[in-house]
Structure 1
Amino acid sequence: MSDDARSERAARPGGRTARTRAAVLDAVLGELEEAGYGGLTMERVAERSGVHLATLYRRWRNAEGLIVDVLGEIGTREVPIPDTGSLKDDLRALASEIAGLYARPRYRALVEGMVAAAVRSPAAAAALSEVFAGRNRLAGRIVERAAERGELPPGTDAAAVIAAVGAPFYYRLLIQRGQVDDALAATAAAAAHAAALSGAFTPPAVQDP
């Protein structure tokens, strides 16, 4: 992670400072939902949060700094990891969680804002990469358990399987500009499951010793 990203994600004190930060990050999400990344300004966030504009500039410096901090907050939240005893059902449950999240306008706007910020800011790009890599590692436990049960070939790349589940959602959101729904969740999970069973995410050296 870059030095800028580290500074934005320094230790989070409690008390008044924590309340101020929470108000600002909630205001960022609200602004993204209403106006998109193009409409996200320090002035609008200050007005919505009730935090003085000078405080915003001193702590976050710019809109990209705000996005970096939002990403850092997301990265600290617990990820629900399904454990049904079946890879197929676990992937389907995970896809349903993703669909439920991005069906909400606030989080759809956040995805769009994260990507836009990453294009402009190395710190935002590093934070975005770190958050998704961390989420894939955590959810990858689904795949590791399946391999331990003998459902998948040994050496299956767990993070790659999870990324395959999530990828159709981001294509739908960012490229097609369409809505996510349960049908997309079912298709994404089924495709990732079939590919994993086929050995698509297993290195050739592992497949053919």
Structure 2
Amino acid sequence: MTSEGTVRPGGRTARVREAVLRAAGDLLAERGFAGLDLAEVAQRAEVGKTTVYRRWGSATGLVADLLVEMADSSVSRTETGSLLGDLRTNAHLVRRTLVDERQGALFKAVIAAATCDARTAAALHAFYATRVGEWAPCVTAAIERGEAPVGTDPHEVIRAVSAPLYYRLLASGDPLDEASADRAAAAAEAATRAGAFVR
């Protein structure tokens, strides 16, 4: 049985899903979670209200499916051959996403919603688990090359790269420039080599 808002069929239904999720993302970026009205999503997507209500049921259902779509369509991991290179690539990908006018606003809205809605929080956690899991093999390869101590937790290393960037986005308001991405990657790499993430 598939949970609400996560069916991924093809054909016309896939086109409807794409249009609805695009409209939902636009509204989230513009107005935040509180402004995510299913009737307006349907109008923008040019589909019937009953289609949206029947398939997603709630704003939370829409956000959950939107996060599934974002995880599925995110940029794939790349390998540079070095731990620092891989972490820097990851940091710059995160930074570009967060400074994007639409994507940055979208993440802020979803994170804000997740603080007060358990289902949105679960969808957000699943999204980040997917992203972190996709990049963790870079750290595993670094362990095999001798760039990181045996026993290093790859997932913790990847989390350490993006954490300072999200802090700038959500808390401090400091610039999210390329230098900040480089520093985040360098700090995570140095901490990794020093054994900070050994289980």
| TM bracket (short chain) | over 0.9
Preserved CA contact (<8 Å) 1:42 1:57: yes
2:195 is equivalent to residue 162 of structure 1 = no
Code of the residue aligned with 1:51 in structure 2: it is V
1:43, distance to aligned residue in structure 2 (A):
2.4
- How many angstroms apart in 2 are the aligned matches of 1:165 and 1:126? 22
Q: Which moved more, 1:27-36 or 1:140-149?
A: 27-36
Q: Deviations over 1:162-207 (max 9, x none)?
A: 000011121111112454221211111111111111100002xxxx
Preserved CA contact (<8 Å) 1:91 1:165: yes
Q: Which moved more, 1:33-42 or 1:68-77?
A: 33-42
- How many angstroms apart in 2 are the aligned matches of 1:61 and 1:120? 18
TM-score, with structure 1 as normaliser = 0.88
Aligned residues: percent identity? 44
1:78, distance to aligned residue in structure 2 (A):
5.1
2:2 is equivalent to residue 9 of structure 1 = no
- Considering only aligned residues, what root-mean-square deviation do their CA atoms show, in Å? 1.7
2:65 is equivalent to residue 50 of structure 1 = no
Q: Deviations over 1:69-100 (max 9, x none)?
A: 10111222354222111111111111111111
The structure 1 residue matched to 2:180, chosen from 180, 184, 204, is: 184
Preserved CA contact (<8 Å) 1:60 1:66: yes
Local SS of the residue matching 1:13: coil
Preserved CA contact (<8 Å) 2:4 2:55: no
The within-5 A match list for 1:122-133 is 122-133=118-129
- How many angstroms apart in 1 are the aligned matches of 2:132 and 2:83? 15
The structure 2 residue matched to 1:117, chosen from 93, 97, 113, is: 113
**Number of the residue aligned with 2:144:** 148
Change (3 A) 1:122 1:95: same
Change (3 A) 1:58 1:177: farther
Preserved CA contact (<8 Å) 2:38 2:49: yes
Give the paired residue count: 199
Local SS of the residue matching 1:180: coil
**Number of the residue aligned with 2:62:** 66
Q: Which moved more, 1:97-106 or 1:115-124?
A: 115-124
Specify every segment of 5 or more residues in structure 1 that has no aligned partner in the other structure, as ranges: 204-209
Code of the residue aligned with 1:34 in structure 2: it is E
Local SS of the residue matching 2:76: coil
**Number of the residue aligned with 1:206:** none
Hey, which bits of structure 1, 4+ residues long, moved more than 3 A? none
Specify every segment of 5 or more residues in structure 2 that has no aligned partner in the other structure, as ranges: none
